[in-house]
């Protein structure tokens, strides 16, 4: 609601076609709720902890009884966890995927809840549209696959990347250079930016479309016939809303999947 209030205070419904804040930061830098010492606890920080709490609660209440014949809720939580464990960790990385399954599962569930905050009523803010979480997880994935690569294969891990034997000798230096650049720099960067940018775009569209729609319709006295534009924005926003549910789930999955693929490439570099 806070974004809509900001929008409403600035929006000139008679002259604007769409209500946009003066500074896009207003949509992403949420207000401080309280202070702990000098630390400003913003709504974003609270939502980050709320996401963790939801994941822990989901797992706890889903798995605490451990019934042999599961309830519907238990079956859903179980299949969610087993999906990452078996279909992502073990199927992509192989038998050694078991070791990385806790990381990948925690990542998937945390990102899933964090992304779905975008379309959760009353929350309406994806914590992954702030760079902190995508960047942190991308760096952890990067650290894992680099360390595992060197640990498993020694220095040949690096040599195989910069001097790929499968490539004709004339092109080897070029492919090596591209691989070096892509493996150690582009991988973590694209991983983080893909998630971040998708959620930024989604949040931006939802707040602008739904917010403008509501404001135009609400202020029909000032907007007059233009409040019809508001109806169009709102309808379009609802379409995007459904689309964003898919994006939220998909981006959590893609981030986890790519992390698994990168780790796999270090565990078995020949593939």
Partner 1 sequence: MLYALSTVLILAAEEAEETGNIGLVLPESYELVAGIIAFGIVFFFVWKWAFPAIDKMLEDRQRAIKGQMEDAEATKAEAQSLLDDYRKQLAEAKGEAAGIVNEARESAEAMKTDIVAKAQAEAERIGTKARADAATERDRALASAKVEVANLSIDLAELVVGENLDRTAQLGLVERYLADLERMSD
Q: Which residues here bind partner 1, judged by CB under 8 A?
A: 23-25, 28-29, 39-40, 42, 44-45, 48-49, 51-52, 55-56, 59-60, 63-64, 66-68, 78, 81-82, 85, 101-103, 105-107, 109-110, 127, 130-133, 135-137, 196, 200
Nearer to partner 1, 42 or 124 (CB): 42
CB of 52 to partner 1, least distance (A): 4
CB of 67 to partner 1, least distance (A): 8
Nearer to partner 1, 105 or 183 (CB): 105
CB of 26 to partner 1, least distance (A): 11
Query: Could you give the count of Cα atoms lying within 13 Å of 63 in the half-sphere of its Cβ?
Result: 12
Query: What 3-state DSSP class applies to 36?
Result: strand
Of 56, 174, 194, 63, give the one whose Cα is nearest residue 131. 194
Nearer to partner 1, 91 or 173 (CB): 91
Nearer to partner 1, 19 or 138 (CB): 138
CB of 33 to partner 1, least distance (A): 12
Helix (H) or strand (E) holding 154: none
Task: Determine the Cα–Cα distance for residues 153 and 159; give it in Å rounded to an integer.
Answer: 10
Nearer to partner 1, 95 or 170 (CB): 95
Task: Determine the Cα–Cα distance for residues 247 and 251; give it in Å rounded to an integer.
Answer: 6
Nearer to partner 1, 123 or 132 (CB): 132
Nearer to partner 1, 140 or 257 (CB): 140
Parallel, antiparallel or unpaired: strands 39-42 and 32-36: antiparallel
Helix (H) or strand (E) holding 33: strand 32-36
Helix (H) or strand (E) holding 41: strand 39-42
CB 243 within 8 A of CB 70: no
CB of 35 to partner 1, least distance (A): 11
CB 32 within 8 A of CB 12: no
- What token pair was written down for 43? 């709504």
CB of 95 to partner 1, least distance (A): 16
DSSP secondary structure letter of residue 70: -
- What token pair was written down for 242? 């459904």
Instruction: List residues bridging with 248 in a β-sheet.
Output: none
Nearer to partner 1, 14 or 56 (CB): 56
Task: Determine the Cα–Cα distance for residues 174 and 229; give it in Å rounded to an integer.
Answer: 53
CB of 54 to partner 1, least distance (A): 10
Task: Determine the Cα–Cα distance for residues 21 and 95; give it in Å rounded to an integer.
Answer: 51
């Amino acid at each position: 609601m806070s974004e809509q209030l900001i929008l409403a205070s600035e929006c000139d419904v008679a002259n604007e076609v769409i209500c946009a804040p003066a500074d896009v930061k207003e949509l992403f830098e949420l207000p401080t709720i309280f202070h702990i010492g000098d630390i400003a606890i913003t709504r974003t920080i609270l939502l980050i902890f709320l996401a963790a709490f939801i994941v822990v609660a989901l797992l706890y209440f889903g798995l605490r009884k451990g019934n042999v014949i599961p309830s519907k809720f238990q079956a859903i939580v179980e299949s969610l966890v087993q999906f990452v464990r078996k279909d992502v960790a073990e199927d992509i990385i192989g038998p050694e995927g078991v070791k990385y399954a806790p990381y990948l599962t925690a990542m998937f569930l945390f990102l899933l809840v964090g992304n779905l905050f975008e379309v959760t009523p009353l929350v309406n803010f994806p914590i992954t549209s702030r760079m902190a979480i995508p960047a942190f997880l991308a760096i952890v994935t990067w650290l894992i696959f680099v360390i595992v690569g060197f640990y498993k294969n020694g220095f040949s891990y690096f040599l195989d990347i910069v001097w790929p034997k499968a490539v004709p000798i004339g092109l080897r230096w070029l492919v090596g250079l591209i691989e070096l650049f892509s493996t150690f720099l582009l991988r973590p960067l694209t991983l983080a930016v893909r998630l971040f940018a998708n959620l930024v775009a989604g949040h931006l569209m939802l707040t602008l479309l739904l917010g403008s729609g509501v404001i135009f319709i609400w202020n029909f006295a000032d907007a007059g016939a233009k409040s019809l534009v508001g109806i169009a924005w709102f309808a379009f926003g609802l379409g995007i809303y459904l689309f964003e549910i898919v994006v939220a789930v998909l981006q959590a999955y893609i981030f986890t999947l790519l992390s698994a693929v990168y780790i796999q490439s270090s565990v078995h570099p020949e593939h």
